[in-house]
Every structure is written in structure tokens, then in C-alpha cells.
Amino acid sequence: MKRLVLLGASGSIGTQTVDVVLQHPDLFEIVALSVGKNIEKLKEILNDIHPKAVCVSDEHDAAALAEVYPEISFTCKEEGLSELASRDDYDVLVNALVGFVGFLPTLAAIRTNHDVALANKETLVVGGQLIYAALHQYGRKLYPIDSEHSAIFQCLQGSRRSDLKRLIITASGGSFRTKSREELKNVTVEQALAHPNWSMGAKITIDSADMMNKGFEVMEAHWLFDVDYDDIDVLMHRESVIHSMVEYRDHSVIAQLGAPDMRLPIQYALSAPDRFELHQDHPLDLAEIGTLHFEKPDLRRFPLLGLAYEAGRKGGNKPAVMNAANEAANLAFRNGEIPFLSIEDIVITSVYKCPFKEVKDVNDLIEANEWGNSYAHKMIEEIKK
């Protein structure tokens, strides 16, 4: 029995994690979980799952819930997340939070001797070097939930690391892969949210449309697998059937394929190297799909992908500034405040304008995050005028 703390239970990855746990009640147990403001969803989850502790964003929600569920202890806000991650009665933290808010709970879990199943890629984008150091110091492991990284993790099983030549991360190209830059000027939020292959949360679907997400995934792969940026390639593959590949030094390429169903990477992050049954309504049927397509990514069409390589290589505060500016710009676009292409402008300008600084501790990261956030907001206000 693996005991879990699940952060971000009401989101897309969170609800699918609950589904995986309910498919295997003899193997997994959720001892604590968090949601943000979606109290209705929380109540649904509490019909099936009986945690000892729950964290919500709002203190009034926490107080009201404590009346209804006296057997559960309720905490709130960001401190509550790290509190759950630091508990001593569980084995693996499942971090399905969205954004920089996921960083401190990941660090808290590692520092209290827990492994982490990570869907919160921003944790590694902003503070990869601090997480990497903490994992080594405490002898803990990170298990990827991101589908590309789960694929790579699966392709690396049973092989020698010294034989690895490069990682090949596949990219669907998101909702606008067939649109020219000219056509991108007037796209709407609704169009951006209609991803052709994957059903995901709103923030990541927008990040996929401008390929910031793929840039983040390159950085995530760099820290997860300790591979140089020169040895991580992105390959456009519109069907999202091959979730990623690795090439070995004899040029043998190993790929992982599957239906676009996040429950597989979630479950494998919790079961590896074992595999358990997983019910799927539509498992992969290659004969039905027939043809798979591949092409090189065009970095002029998707400048944020190139920027992520640049920020990753540069390191220091640049990745955290990039992430913060993106969080602000992504949200402003979803709120209808700025056009789609302004996201790129804001993120690129923030990264270039920010004076370079080394990151030595969490405070440096928080400072970089605030710098990127406030610079992006200044630009957003200018655009709104």
C-alpha cells in the first residue's frame, strides 16, 4: 500500500489521479489532499476518498468545511500546502499544482524524506538546480507525470545511462499548429483552448498553443534526466501517439506509444518499475490511426521554444523570470486583456530586460518570480491602454 498526499486534487491531473487510486484501492491510499477554490469538486471527491487532512485556498472555506467534516483537519493557503507535503504519515507526494506555487511543497516533501510524482513542471523550470541538489542531499526520487517525461522514463528502463545519446521530445504543436503568425494575430481564447489531442487544464492548453509548454518540457527533461540541452531535441508529431523517444549511441531509437490518456503516466509514476492494469475505453489502435507525421519545429514560428533553450542554458534567475512573466501573460490572455501574440512579447522582453543574477536559495527564486511578475504586469497595463 502506497500512501499519497495529492496537491491540486480538483484539477485535470488531480481528478485523474483520484480515478487511478479508485481503480486500485488495495494499492494506493490518499491520506491528505488540497484543492484551491473548487469546493463543490472537493465535496464530490470526499464522497469517494477519506483523507485525514485537506488544504483549501481560503480560510473561510476551511472553517466552514471543518463544521461539515469534523473527522478531517483543514488547513489553508500556501503554508497549508507545505504543511501537507511535510507530513510523516505518507510515502509519495503527487504534485498536480499549476505554476510556481508548486515549488515550495515539492522542496518541503523532499526535505522531509519523501519521493515526489511530479506533474507541476514549473517546479523544475524555476528551481531545477535547487530541487536537483535537494534530491541528492536527501537521497529521494522524482517520478515524472508529464506524458513526454514518463515516456522517456519508460524508454530508459533496463538500459545503461552511459549508452544514452539524446532525448527526442515530441510536440503536437497545440491548437494553432496549422496557423501562420499572421493568422495568430486575431485568435480567440476559445480557439486556443481547443487542443486537438489532449484534454488538459486551461493554463497548460494555452502554454501548448504557443509552445511555452514544450520549452518548459525541455527544461524539465534537462533536470529530470540530467541531460545536456545540446542532447535534447524537439520533434513535431501532430498525432500525439509517440509520447517521446530516446536514442542510444548505436542509433537505436526506443519510443513509448499510447492513447492520449494522462492516467497512464500518473499510474506509472506511482507503480514504476511495476505495471498495473489500467482500464481504458480506447486503447491505442495503430491500424485505425494508419499514418504518423513528423517534422522539425520552426523556431521563428514558435519563438518561446527557442527562448526556453536560451534561458535554460543561461540559468540563474532567467528561467524563473520567464515562468513568472508567462504565468501573468497566460492569465491576462485567458481573461481577454491581451491578444495571443502579446504573450510572446511579454515573456521574451521580460527575460531579456531582467538583469542576470545567480540563484543560490529559495529567496533568490522568489525575488526572480516577483521581478518577472511585476515586469509582465507593467507590459500588460501598457497593452490594455
Binding site for Mg ion (CB under 5 A): 146-148
Q: How far is CA 106 from CA 4, 84, 140, 142, in A?
A: 13, 11, 11, 10
Q: Which residues contact 25 (CB under 8 A, 6 or more apart)?
A: none
**CA 41/CA 56 separation, integer angstroms:** 12
Min dist CB 304 to Mg ion, Å, is 15
Which of 148/344 has CB closer to Mg ion? 148
Closer to Mg ion by Cβ: residue 105 or 174: 174
- Min dist CB 288 to Mg ion, Å, is 23
Minimum CB separation of residue 375 from Mg ion in Å reads 27
Task: Give 199 or 374: the residue with its C-beta nearer to Mg ion.
Answer: 199
Nearest approach in angstroms of CB 44 to Mg ion is 26
Cβ proximity to Mg ion: between 57 and 326 the closer is: 326
**Nearer to Mg ion among residue 148 and residue 261 (C-beta):** 148
Q: Which is nearer to Mg ion, 80 or 260 (CB)?
A: 260
Q: Which is nearer to Mg ion, 122 or 146 (CB)?
A: 146
Least distance between Mg ion and beta carbon 322 (Å)? 17
CB of 10 to Mg ion, least distance (A): 20
Residue with the shortest CB distance to Mg ion: 146
Least CB distance to Mg ion at residue 220 (A): 9
Task: Report in angstroms how near the CB of residue 71 gets to Mg ion at its nearest.
Answer: 37
Show the 3-state SS of the chain. Answer: CEEEEEECCCCHHHHHHHHHHHHCCCCEEEEEEECCCCHHHHHHHHHHCCCCEEEECCHHHHHHHHHHCCCCEEEEHHHHHHHHHCCCCCCEEEECCCCHHHHHHHHHHHHCCCEEEECCCHHHHHHHHHHHHHHHHHCCCEEECCHHHHHHHHHCCCCCHHHEEEEEEEECCCCCCCCCHHHHCCCCHHHHCCCCCCCCCHHHHHHHHCCHHHHHHHHHHHHHHCCCHHHEEEEECCCCCEEEEEEECCCCEEEEECCCCCHHHHHHHHHCCCCCCCCCCCCCCHHHHCCCCCECCCCCCCHHHHHHHHHHHHCCCHHHHHHHHHHHHHHHHHCCCCCHHHHHHHHHHHHHHCCCCCCCCHHHHHHHHHHHHHHHHHHHHHHHC
Which is closer to Mg ion, CB of 83 or CB of 148? 148
Strands 242-248 vs 164-171: parallel, antiparallel or unpaired: antiparallel
Sign of CA dihedral 325, 15, 218, 300: negative
127 vs 174 by CB, closer to Mg ion: 174
Angle at 11 between CA 8 and CA 16, to 5 degrees: 100
Nearer to Mg ion, 18 or 218 (CB): 218
Q: Minimum distance between the CB of residue 120 and Mg ion, rounded to whole angstroms?
A: 12
Q: How far is the CB of 146 from Mg ion (least distance, A)?
A: 4
